[in-house]
Amino acid sequence: MFNNIFQNKKVLVTGNTGFKGSWLTLWLLKLGANITGISKDIPTNPSLFKALKLQKKIEHHFIDVKEIKKLRKIIFSTQPDFIFHLAAQPIVSESYKNPIETISSNSIGTTNLLQIMCDIDWKCSALLVTSDKCYENIEKSAGYKETDKLGGKDIYSSSKAAAEIFISSYFRTFLNSKDNLTLAVGRAGNVIGGGDWARDRLVVDCMKAWGKNRPVSIRNPLSTRPWQHVLEPLSGYLHLANLIYQSRELNGEAFNFGPNQDDILNVESLIKKLSKKFELNKSYKIIESNDFPESGLLQLDIGKAKKLLRWQPVLNTSEMIESVSDWYFNFFKKNVDLMELTLKQIEIYEFKASKSKLPWSNL
Ligand SMILES: NC(=O)c1ccc[n+]([C@@H]2O[C@H](COP(=O)([O-])OP(=O)(O)OC[C@H]3O[C@@H](n4cnc5c(N)ncnc54)[C@H](O)[C@@H]3O)[C@@H](O)[C@H]2O)c1
């Protein structure tokens, strides 16, 4: 997998205690990496990071990426071969309540990392994670391309668009000329998977309600989102990091990672499919209230990743839904080994990718 590039490499993951960060850490451990994690806290309870006991398997630091001196100290003492930057305040509703914190963590936090990267004097490749929401959402039905206009009506989206602009400026001003360093950007859509407990996320709300045998309340049944299993963008990040470590060809490029266009579901059909395993009398109810405005339509064009990276989604919609509902179903059954379950899902994903002959899985 991935050219075996991560075997015995020093890999720094920011945001490692979060949902995506925990899956990424587990996958990197499986690939033989030595991991240093930086996060300001453990953002949820329950927590995948805790359930997998990841703190014992890596060198973990509770640090806020807004604190550039502390961040610099860890990066310089670790001298990582790879950096995966995921730390962010990722909840749109939270960005309404705490706009300054969201902007400081997401935009300034990323800029702090970029500033530190200017002084790195060892070979290092960085994969910076932003979001599908970095695009100015004009409610179009075609997917957004990497060349589309950045923007954001809400603070979360604009904080990610701002991070993108800083990444691009730092790259063109300082980082492109550094022979020892490469970077790339990953923009992913709405990610779902076992072990997410963040609030105001549809699948998590479902699981919290269904765990108590209650219907989930939904606001916008016809909204579409580019849902994808968490391992899909992670395979994209790992593959892209591998490629920019080997060659400078894609240095500074941004890539969308999302589902195929024909695999896009609306809220109502996703819920219906997800709930099957749980055998509930009523799995959802539609409510009127809308605490904060949300975009109705958001899709990504993944043509660039398909063409230049030969990356593509591995799971079809039913496989994605089976994986997600199976994880939570087992979680609620208690006495299930969550490490075994999560690792098994990674193994199945790797197996399906190699059956589909995806380059990253056969390298
Ligand atoms: N989950 C999704 O659907 C999705 C979609 C698009 C983009 N993303 C992006 O992917 C990344 C990870 O998302 P997630 O869903 O795992 O989020 P999460 O809330 O589960 O985890 C966030 C992580 O960032 C850390 N963090 C937050 N603010 C920090 C700060 N100031 N300093 C240091 N650490 C900080 C938290 O401690 C945690 O480890 C984020 O950059 C997010 O914006 C997520």
DSSP 228-250: EETHHHHHHHHHHHHHHHH-STT
Place of tokens 């001298």: 79
Residue 188 CA: nearest ligand 1 atom is 6
SS3 219: coil
Contact (Cβ atoms closer than 8 angstroms) between residue 34 and residue 57:
no
180-231 confidence digits (pLDDT tens): 999 999 999 889 999 999 998 999 999 999 999 999 999 889 887 779 999 9
Residue 101 CA: nearest ligand 1 atom is 31
Contact (Cβ atoms closer than 8 angstroms) between residue 192 and residue 320:
yes
80-121 confidence digits (pLDDT tens): 999 999 999 999 999 999 999 999 999 999 999 999 999 999
Question: The tokens of 305 are what?
Answer: 């990743």
CA 16 to centroid of ligand 1, rounded, Å: 8
Q: Mean pLDDT for the chain?
A: 95
Residue nearest to atom 26 of ligand 1 (CA): 87
CA 18 to centroid of ligand 1, rounded, Å: 6
Amino acid at 209: A
Q: What is the DSSP letter of 111?
A: H
In this structure, CATH architecture of domain 2-362: 3-Layer(aba) Sandwich (3.40)
pLDDT at 148 over 90: yes
Rounded to whole angstroms, how far apart are CA atoms 105 and 88? Answer: 6
Which residues form the pocket of ligand 1, taking CB atoms under 6 Å from any ligand atom? 15-21, 39-41, 43, 64-66, 86-90, 105, 109, 129, 131-132, 188, 190-191, 198
Burial of 187 (0-12, 13-18, 19+ CB in 10 A): buried
pLDDT tier at 265, thresholds 50, 70, 90: confident
Residue 129 CA: nearest ligand 1 atom is 41
Across the range 132-152, mean pLDDT stands at 93
DSSP 20-78: HHHHHHHHHHHTT-EEEEEES----SS-HHHHTTGGGTSEEEE--TT-HHHHHHHHHHH
pLDDT tier at 291, thresholds 50, 70, 90: low
Residue 42 CA: nearest ligand 1 atom is 37
Where along the chain do its domains lie?
A: 2-362
